[in-house]
Every structure is written in C-alpha cells, then in structure tokens.
Amino acid sequence: MKKINLRFFLALWLGKLSIFALRLLKKHASHFPGELALKLCPDFLQRIPRPKTVVCVTGTNGKTTTSNLLGDILRANGHKITHNAYGSNTPTGISAVLLENADLLGRPRNEIALLETDERASIHVMPYLKPDILLVNNMLRDTFKRNAHPGFIAWIVGKATPPETTVIYNGDDPECRSIGEGTNHRLSFSLRIPDTGNYRPGTFEERPTCPHCGHELQYTLRRYSHIGLHHCPACGWEPAAPDYALTELDREARTFTVTHGEKEITCHLINDSLANIYNFTAAVAVLDAMGLSEAEIQKGFREARIVASRVKEYDVAGRHIAMLLTKGQSPVACNNMFSYVAKQEVPGKLVVLMLEDQHDVQNDVENTCWFYDCDYELFSDPSIEHLIIAGQRSQDQLLRLMIAGVPEEKITVLDTIDAVFDAEVLYRAKNIYFLYDVFTDGVAEKLRRRVAEKMQEGGAN
Ligand SMILES: [Zn+2]
C-alpha cells in the first residue's frame, strides 16, 4: 500500500513539474503530464482526490461545444472549475487537467470538474472518478476506423457508468436509452417542437430496434440521422415522457424554453442550428440538475461566448459563398453538411469538395472506405449544377460520386486544392459551397479569400 502511495506522489510531483517545464518552453501541457503520471502510476485516476462535483460530457457529436458552453455558464456564475477545454478527452488529457488542479498533496483546488470524455475512453475514466452527472448527447455512427456501431459504444459507456451517477441522456436517440437503464437515476431531454426540416432520407442510416421485442422502430418525426420521436409499432413501446423538454423555440426573438415539471426556463438562443438546439437543451438539463437557479442559467446563456458555427456565409460580388466545416470520416457530420447543401433552394449551386484524410495515413496504409459510409447520393440532387473535387483524394471521390449517380460531366476533378482558384466554372456559379475538413481549414480559408478577391476584381458576372 505504502509503495503504491509513493508511486502516486511521484507521479503527481513529476507530472506537476512537467507542466511547469512545458510552460517555460511555451508548450501545451494538455497531454504529456497526464501520460507521464499514468505511466508512473497506472491507477492515478483512482488515487487522485476527487473534486467535490464531477460532471462528464460524452456522446458522438457536440461534446466540445456543450462542455465549453457549460464551462462558460458555470464561470459566469462565479464557479471555479477544472475543465479540459483545450486538452484531450482521453485518460491522459483528463489526468493532466486534474494534475494541474491539484495541490502538492493532490487535493483539488477547484470544487467542480467538468470533463469532456471520449466515449471509448469512458471505461478508463468514469469507474474511478465516479461522476455525479454524466451527460450523453447522442450515439451516432462515427468514424468506423476508430469506433464501432453506436449500440456497441453505448454499451461501453453504460458499462463505464457507476450506479451512483445521474445519467442525463438524449431521449430522442434510441441508441442512448440503455445507458444506466435499471441501475441509475436517469433524466432525459427531448425536443418537443414542430419539425425543423433538417432531415433528408439517406442511404446509410441506423435502424434502431425496440428494446423489448427487437422490431424496427418507427418515427413520427425524424430530426436527423436516427434522432427523433420514435415508438415500436409491434409492441407499443415508446420512450418515457422527457424530464426536460424543449417546448418553445423563437428564432426571431432569439429565445428557447425548456420545461421541467412546473418549471419553464426561457433563455437566450445563442445559435439556432439543430445540433446546437440539442446542445442547449442538454446544457439546461445539466445546470438545473447541478442546482443552478433559473436566473443563474439565464444569466449564463446571456453571457456565454458565441458558439462556433460550422457554416460561415459571405456575399461576394453578387454571389453567395458558404464555407461548411465538414468533419471527414464522421458520416453523420458529413451527411449533415451534404444535406444542408442539397436542401438550399437557390439557383446555380456549385459544390467544392475538399475533404482530405492524408493526415490519417498510417504505416503507408490508406483507407478510403469511409466515403462509402457517407451519403454522396445527396449530391445527385438536380439542384446541384456542378461539383469540383480537389485534393489527393479526388479520384476516390470521383468514383464514389459516380456510384452515387452524379453524371461525370457535372464533375471537375483537380489534384490540388490550390487548383480550384483557376477553375473557370467556379466564377460562373451564383451559389458556391466549399466543404472542407478540420485538416484543410487553413488552405480552404486562404482559397476563399483569393477567390473572393478575384470575384470582386471581375465584378458580378
Ligand atoms: Zn417492441
């Protein structure tokens, strides 16, 4: 026992020393100190004294946005929190952030730890930290190279969740329903507003089944992917009434209302994308469950920083340019953007696809299977007049688009993203959609600026 304690303190002190050294070198201390601590003391997360309140945020999409929003709101109300906002959401990143918060005896300085937690890594984190609250945003089809079926990922999260944790889960997502079922105190959230019109039927969709009879579930309202209001037509099963329901959304007045029993909490609507509306509803549920008052939650939403949007729009010389951050390898994130383009009712639509995954080439092994997990079929929509595919993956995407039924004459293939600048077809379009990945962010933005300049020089043709 004594020996293990020594290991813990050695890990704690050397970890803290490494944070100090990295700061001197002006380097990020988001990962390495935790890695070092876990190497020296593998049960470090079990040993480090736990902050009074631990909140974990997990799920496929929206973890970072929701946990950053929660962080902003808690801070706006005077709470000091430990938060892996810029760190990693794996055991090493979480260990690093807890190390930073600990004094030399390992005692936490801040009483609240808000931890974005990777779904798969949750099994190495939550059994030790025993979160008071676990928020599960959603369980969607994710990069299959890393993640398996959402039902399997939900099973991992469920297995990782200690019985004392309150689980706040997305009641509109049937894949979330098993987490903590029968063992934990659970609270669900749901959108109870009319259809927001985001759903487009896709080729690749999860077909969740009834937890009781295994029959395929039926939807009365599908919001996106497999998220929506569902029930079982065979045995009549349906999710219980939500504990937190978004009952009003006023885009003009920029407000939304979440109803919880007798309580109606109306807050400022920071951003009105469907994904964020879910994130905001989840955040209200977590904050209310943490004991914040209605006034405190409202103050938080008023003061929270603007949530970054994945869509940026520009009007340039009589044309409209939209920059769409499209997280490659993540089918749901891709499909959300693909369907965004397909549903825009405007003339002269041109799509520039700049999705690269060269960063992910490991041991010279390339894997382009993920193209077949995304709905390129949405680009066969007749409203799209032309597509440009640019970058090292352009030939692979050409094949995918042809399989999706996009006529070859509608496609321009370019080997580099830079070459898009000289593509004449680009300057003839009225509505241009640049789809780029986090890894092509810099080059896409540079391209947009150059294209905009050229358009301004040439006037509105
Ligand atoms: Zn059933």
Cα dihedral 133/137/141/145 (nearest 10): -50
Strand partners, 249: 256
Phi, psi angle pair for 173, to nearest 5°: -110, 105
Q: In this predicted model, what pLDDT tens digit does every residue of 285-297 receive, in sequence order?
A: 999 999 999 999 9
- Tell me which residue range forms the domain holding 454: 311-458
Q: How far is the CA of 234 from the centre of ligand 1 (A)?
A: 5
Residue 307 is encoded by which pair of tokens? 């949530």
Q: How far is the CA of 110 from the centre of ligand 1 (A)?
A: 46
Q: Which of 303, 333, 360 is the last residue of a domain?
A: 303
Is residue 54 within 8 Å of residue 135, measured between CB atoms? no
Tell me, yes or no, whether 353 and 420 share the same domain. Answer: yes
Please tell me the total count of domains within the chain.
Answer: 2
Tell me, yes or no, whether 223 and 154 share the same domain. Answer: yes
Tell me, yes or no, whether 283 and 316 share the same domain. Answer: no
Q: What is the model's pLDDT at position 308?
A: 67
Residue type for position 69 = L
Q: For residue 50, give the DSSP letter.
A: P
Q: What is the model's pLDDT at position 363?
A: 61
Distances (CA, A) of 276 to 226, 279, 308, 425: 17, 5, 10, 34
Q: How confident is the model at residue 364 (pLDDT cuts 50, 70, 90)?
A: low
Q: Which of 239, 269, 303 is the last residue of a domain?
A: 303
Mean pLDDT of 226-238: 95
Mean pLDDT of 3-18: 87
Q: How far is the CA of 230 from the centre of ligand 1 (A)?
A: 11
450: left (phi over 0), alpha (psi -120 to 50) or beta: alpha
Tell me, yes or no, whether 325 and 295 share the same domain. Answer: no
**Percentage above 90 pLDDT, the chain:** 72
With 80 as the cut, is the pLDDT of residue 397 above it?
yes
Q: What is the model's pLDDT at position 350?
A: 97
With 90 as the cut, is the pLDDT of residue 193 above it?
yes
SS3 of residue 401 by DSSP = helix
Is residue 412 within 8 Å of residue 425, measured between CB atoms? yes
Q: How far is the CA of 232 from the centre of ligand 1 (A)?
A: 5
* pLDDT averaged over every residue in the chain: 91
Mean pLDDT of 399-418: 95
Q: What is the CA radius of gyration of the chain?
A: 24
Q: How confident is the model at residue 361 (pLDDT cuts 50, 70, 90)?
A: low
CATH value at residue 268: 3.40.1190.10
Residue type for position 451 = V
Mean pLDDT of 145-172: 93
Tell me, yes or no, whether 125 and 163 share the same domain. Answer: yes
Q: In this predicted model, what pLDDT tens digit does every residue of 110-123 receive, in sequence order?
A: 999 999 999 999 99
Q: How confident is the model at residue 220 (pLDDT cuts 50, 70, 90)?
A: very high
Q: How confident is the model at residue 160 (pLDDT cuts 50, 70, 90)?
A: very high
Which of 26-30, 32-36, 208-212 ranks highest by mean pLDDT?
Answer: 32-36
Tell me, yes or no, whether 353 and 436 share the same domain. Answer: yes
Residue 181 is encoded by which pair of tokens? 């079922």
Is residue 137 within 8 Å of residue 61, measured between CB atoms? yes
Q: For residue 372, give the DSSP letter.
A: G
Is residue 78 within 8 Å of residue 24, measured between CB atoms? no
Q: How far is the CA of 406 from the centre of ligand 1 (A)?
A: 39
Starting at the earlier edge strand, list the strands of the sheet with 133-136: 81-83, 112-116, 53-58, 133-136, 166-170, 186-191, 244-250, 255-260, 263-268
Phi, psi angle pair for 300, to nearest 5°: -60, -45
Q: In this predicted model, what pLDDT tens digit does every residue of 64-91 receive, in sequence order?
A: 899 999 999 999 999 999 999 876 899 9
Q: How far is the CA of 194 from the centre of ligand 1 (A)?
A: 25
Q: In this predicted model, what pLDDT tens digit does every residue of 276-330 receive, in sequence order?
A: 999 999 999 999 999 999 999 999 999 987 666 788 899 999 999 999 998 888 8
Q: How far is the CA of 178 from the centre of ligand 1 (A)?
A: 14
In sign, the C-alpha dihedral spanning 144, 150, 155, 158 is positive
- Helix axis angle, 2-24 to 91-101, nearest 10°: 90
Tell me, yes or no, whether 363 and 450 share the same domain. Answer: yes
Q: What is the model's pLDDT at position 365?
A: 64
Residue 444 is encoded by which pair of tokens? 């896409």
CATH value at residue 396: 3.90.190.20
Measure the CA–CA gap between 307 and 197, rounded to whole angstroms.
22
Q: Which of 303, 326, 349 is the last residue of a domain?
A: 303
Q: How far is the CA of 229 from the centre of ligand 1 (A)?
A: 15
Q: How far is the CA of 231 from the centre of ligand 1 (A)?
A: 8
Tell me, yes or no, whether 10 and 117 share the same domain. Answer: yes
With 60 as the cut, is the pLDDT of residue 3 above it?
no
Is residue 174 within 8 Å of residue 97, measured between CB atoms? no
The more confident residue out of 358 and 313 is 313
Q: What is the model's pLDDT at position 383?
A: 92
Tell me, yes or no, whether 218 and 341 share the same domain. Answer: no
Q: How confident is the model at residue 1 (pLDDT cuts 50, 70, 90)?
A: very low
Tell me, yes or no, whether 95 and 206 share the same domain. Answer: yes
Distance of CA 269 to the CA centre of its chain: 19
Q: What is the model's pLDDT at position 205?
A: 74
Q: How far is the CA of 148 from the centre of ligand 1 (A)?
A: 24
Q: In this predicted model, what pLDDT tens digit does every residue of 436-450 receive, in sequence order?
A: 988 788 889 999 999
Q: What is the model's pLDDT at position 460?
A: 46
Mean pLDDT of 251-278: 95
Tell me, yes or no, whether 338 and 294 share the same domain. Answer: no
Measure the CA–CA gap between 261 and 14, rounded to whole angstroms.
49
Distances (CA, A) of 60 to 106, 148, 151, 382: 32, 12, 12, 31
Residue with the two structure tokens 């919880």:
260
SS3 of residue 350 by DSSP = strand
Q: How far is the CA of 275 from the centre of ligand 1 (A)?
A: 28
Residue type for position 174 = P
Tell me, yes or no, whether 393 and 270 share the same domain. Answer: no
